[in-house]
Structures are given as structure tokens and as C-alpha cells.
Structure 1
Amino acid sequence: MDTRTADTADIKAIGQVVATVERTQRAKDTEGFLALFHPDALWTTGHGKVLIGFDTIAEFTRSVLPTASWDGEITYEVVHTQFLRPDVAAVKVRQLYRSPEGETEGAPLYIMTKQDDGRWLLHACQNTGVQAE
């Protein structure tokens, strides 16, 4: 199933998770960011660091996000949602960082799972930088 046949409410909910990733990153809201993860999540950072399980993701995030510094703006945009099952979605995101030095792009892939209460959570994620051509 793809976005043409998917439930509109699920598409909207997934978009809200991505918007919350953006908002919490900008605000350096560690706990808000961590609330988006499944307890068994897997996260690979843009620099290739593999974080397995919520506790590892939380430890890393709590050590880097509050002190992160940037002099630009970051945006996240859902560019494609592919439903693998009604409760599992592969979400391709365009991450754009604008600074005085120029733009840097990332292409995260979020595998999200729908919980029994209807919430969508980040379950397996890979943040990949886009190389300038």
C-alpha cells in the first residue's frame, strides 16, 4: 500500500511525528524528542553512530542535544511514505540545514510503527547526509 491508498489520518499522524522531530531538534527539547521513540528503537546518526535500544538513544541524545550549536535553521519535510503493513511505514524525509555558509541536506529514513493506542513511533531510523555533486 502507498500514500494513494493509505488512511489519511495515518499520513497526517506520521507527518506530525516528523514535524515534532523538527520542533524538538530546534528547541533542543531532549525529552520531547525521546518521546517519539519505540522502546526497541534503532537509530543511526548522520555520522554513522549506531544506537540500539531506547536507553542507548536516550543517553546519546541527552549528551549531545542540549549542547548542540548551529547558526542556521533546520527543516524536515516528508517526501514519501510507503506503508509496508497498515501499522508499519517507511518514511523518507528531506532534512535541510541552512546556515550562512550554505545549505546541507540530509535524507533520513524512518521506519515507524503504529502502536495499539494509535500513536506512530520511530522504530528504526537511518540519518544519511546527501553529498554535494
Structure 2
Amino acid sequence: MNTDPADIKAIEQVVATVERVQRAKDVEGFLALFHPDALWTTAHGKVLIGFDAIAEFTRAVLPAASWDGEVTYEAVHTQFLRADVAAVKVRQTYHSAQGDTQGTPLYVMTRQDDGRWLLHAGQNTEVHAG
């Protein structure tokens, strides 16, 4: 299976870009990371099928999003399903004065013909203590 360090680094860079654009509330930067046929499920269970649905939701929600502190994203495990398809487990942490909270997204990413890795499917899950 794929163990190309360049692919792993490119995937980690996409996750780092998710962090950067979320912090900056950069809607278009976030949307640029998605495959046109993407499927996305939010941490609260909203299912978004296709780029248009993801874009409509993101444009409505991200600019008004608020959190006390900062958010970090870290790719903690990459499993190649094929040479051009990877499942990526992400640690998402919201740091605030009230304490940290976590999410645990799973991204399915596909490598495009031009070599870019895009988010093709995602499931974000809020982590509850206990």
C-alpha cells in the first residue's frame, strides 16, 4: 500500500490547512479543500451531500462561528485504502479558558490527477467526557 512520505506530508498539509482556514473563518479557503462529490457530516449530525450543500452550509455558519480560544487539528493516523485513497483520523481540540474540548473527525481523502489531496468524505464527532 501507499507509504510515500510525500503523500503523507500532503495529507497532513490539508489537515493543517483545515485548521488555518477554520481559525481565519476563510470560507473559500475551506471550500477549496473539497472534492466536487464530497459528503460531509458535521459534529452535530447534519449530513451535507455534494459540494453545493457543503458550500451553502459553510457560507452560512463559518463566518458567524465563535469560540473562546483557538482550535487545533492534528492528523493522528493515516490509513491508505488504495494508493490514491486515504482514511485520516484527526484530533480536533478547542482550547478555551473553560478547558479543552475535542472532536474526532474522520476524513476520507482522494488524490487527484494533479497530485492534490482533497476531502471526499468526512464525519466529525464531538467527544464527550466520561
Q: Displacement of 1:129 after TM fit?
A: 0.9
Q: Which residue of 1 aligns with 2:72?
A: 75
Give 1:63's aligned amino acid: A
TM-score w.r.t. the length of structure 2 is 0.98
Q: Which residue of 2 aligns with 1:85?
A: 82
Q: Displacement of 1:69 after TM fit?
A: 1.0
Q: Which residue of 2 aligns with 1:33?
A: 30
TM-score w.r.t. the length of structure 1 is 0.96
> How far apart in 1 are the matches of 2:13 and 2:100?
24
State percent identity of aligned pairs. Answer: 80
Q: Which residue of 2 aligns with 1:6?
A: 3
Give 1:37's aligned amino acid: F
Structure 1 segments of 4+ aligned residues over 2 angstroms from their partners: none
> How far apart in 2 are the matches of 1:89 and 1:129?
22
> How far apart in 2 are the matches of 1:93 and 1:69?
21
Superposed counterparts of 1:98-109, under 5 Å: 98-109=95-106
CA RMSD of aligned residues (A): 0.7
Q: Which residue of 1 aligns with 2:125?
A: 128
> How many residue pairs end up in the alignment?
130
Q: Which residue of 1 aligns with 2:21?
A: 24
Q: Deviations over 1:16-41 (max 9, x none)?
A: 00000000000000000000000000
> How far apart in 1 are the matches of 2:102 and 2:64?
21
Q: Which moved more, 1:32-41 or 1:100-109?
A: 100-109
> How far apart in 2 are the matches of 1:128 and 1:23?
20
Q: Which residue of 1 aligns with 2:92?
A: 95
